[in-house]
Amino acid sequence: MRILVIGGGGREHAIAKALTKNVAVEKIWVAPGNGGTEAFCENVPIAATDLEGVLGFCKKNHPDFVVVTPDDPLALGMVDLLEDNEFACFGPTREAAKLEWSKNYAKEFMAKYNIPTASYVLCKDSGEAKEYVKTCPIPIVLKADGLAQGKGVVVAQTREETVRGCDQLTSKGDQPILFEEMLTGPEVSVLCFTDGKTIVPMPAAQDHKRAFDGDKGPNTGGMGAYSPVSVYTSAMAERCMEEIFRPTVDGMVKEGHPFKGVLYFSLMLTPDGPKVIEYNSRFGDPETQAVIPLLNSDLLNIMLATRNGKLDRAKVKFLDNCSACVVMASAGYPGSYEKGKVIVGVEEAGKYGTVYHAGTARRGDNALITSGGRVLCVSSLGRSLRQALRNCYKGVGAIKFEGAFYRSDIGSKDAGAKEE
Nearer of residues 227 and 280 to ligand GLY, judged by Cβ:
280
287 binds, among ligand AMP, ligand GLY, none (CB under 5 to 8 A by kind): ligand GLY
187 binds ligand AMP (CB under 6 A): yes
* Out of 32, 77, 150, 350, the residue judged to bind ligand AMP by CB under 6 A: 150
- Looking only at residues 90 through 129 of this chain, which bind ligand AMP when binding is defined by CB under 6 A? 118
What Rg do the C-alpha atoms of the chain give, in angstroms? Answer: 21
Q: Which of 349, 358, 356, 361 is nearest to 396 (CA)?
A: 349
Nearer of residues 63 and 222 to ligand GLY, judged by Cβ:
222
380 binds ligand GLY (CB under 6 A): no
141 binds ligand AMP (CB under 6 A): yes
Site string for ligand AMP, 277-306 (x = CB under 6 A): xx----------------------------
3-state secondary structure 315-348: CCCECCCEEEEEEEECCCCCCCCCCCCECECHHH
153 binds ligand AMP (CB under 6 A): yes
- To ligand AMP, the closest distance from the beta carbon of 219 in angstroms equals 6
* Dihedral angle over CA of 43, 46, 51, 57, nearest 10: -60
Separation in Å, CA 403 to CA 325, 329, 355, 410 = 20, 8, 18, 19
Separation in Å, CA 359 to CA 142, 236, 283, 410 = 29, 36, 18, 20
Stretch that binds ligand GLY, among 88-96, 280-288, 289-297, 315-323 (CB under 6 A): 280-288
- To ligand GLY, the closest distance from the beta carbon of 188 in angstroms equals 12
The answer to whether 171 and 218 have CB atoms below 8 angstroms apart is: no
Rounded-to-integer distance, Cα 378 and Cα 327, Å: 7
- To ligand GLY, the closest distance from the beta carbon of 259 in angstroms equals 17
Task: List, in sequence order, every beta strand (DSSP E) within 135-212.
Answer: 140-144, 153-156, 177-181, 187-194, 199-201, 206-207, 210-212
Per-residue b/e over 27-47, b at no fewer than 16 CB within 10 Å? ebbbbbbbbbbbeebebbebe
Q: How many other β-carbons are positioned within 10 Å of the β-carbon of residue 331?
A: 16
141 binds, among ligand GLY, ligand AMP, none (CB under 5 to 8 A by kind): ligand AMP
Nearer of residues 129 and 375 to ligand GLY, judged by Cβ:
375
Stretch that binds ligand AMP, among 148-156, 307-315, 331-339, 343-351 (CB under 6 A): 148-156
Site string for ligand AMP, 304-343 (x = CB under 6 A): ----------------------------------------
* Out of 162, 194, 198, 266, the residue judged to bind ligand AMP by CB under 6 A: 266
138 binds ligand AMP (CB under 6 A): no
161 binds ligand AMP (CB under 6 A): no
Separation in Å, CA 180 to CA 30, 136, 137, 275 = 38, 10, 10, 13
Q: How many other β-carbons are positioned within 10 Å of the β-carbon of residue 173?
A: 7
7 binds ligand GLY (CB under 6 A): no
280 binds ligand GLY (CB under 6 A): yes
Separation in Å, CA 184 to CA 181, 211, 217, 264, 334 = 10, 20, 19, 20, 25
- To ligand AMP, the closest distance from the beta carbon of 220 in angstroms equals 10
Q: Which of 19, 58, 23, 17 is nearest to 37 (CA)?
A: 17
Helix (H, G, I), strand (E, B) or coil at 277: strand
145 binds ligand AMP (CB under 6 A): no
395 binds ligand GLY (CB under 6 A): no
Nearer of residues 100 and 298 to ligand AMP, judged by Cβ:
100
* Out of 9, 116, 203, 222, the residue judged to bind ligand GLY by CB under 6 A: 222
Binding site for ligand GLY (CB under 6 A): 207, 222, 280, 284-285, 287
Binding site for ligand AMP (CB under 6 A): 118, 141, 150, 153, 155, 180, 182-183, 187, 209, 266, 277-278
